[in-house]
Amino acid sequence: MEYHGMLNQRFLTAMQKRDIEKVQQLLLMPNYDLNYASQKRITPLILASQLEPYSIIDR
């Protein structure tokens, strides 16, 4: 799996678990692309809108 795909999967998993600290760590990774879509065409922003994790979005 490529770098962005691996980071994106870890990011989406952290969001689903509502692990805010992990989400923040992953956002700070070099060259992380917040708009990178998974194989199912899900981006972190799409998932955030579905999960409504306001504490993640607000930070």
**Tokens of residue 43, six digits:** 């981006």
pLDDT given at position 53: 54
Instruction: Dump pLDDT digits (tens) for 2-50.
Output: 777 788 888 889 988 888 899 889 888 887 888 888 888 888 888 877 8
Residues in the chain: 59
Q: What is this structure's pTM? A: 0.69
pLDDT given at position 54: 56
Is 60 exceeded by the pLDDT of residue 1? Answer: no
pLDDT given at position 47: 82
For the chain, which residues make up each domain, given as ranges?
3-58
Is 70 exceeded by the pLDDT of residue 58? Answer: no
**Nearest C-alpha neighbor of 36 from the set 27, 28, 44, 48:** 44
Q: End-to-end CA distance of the chain, in Å?
A: 29
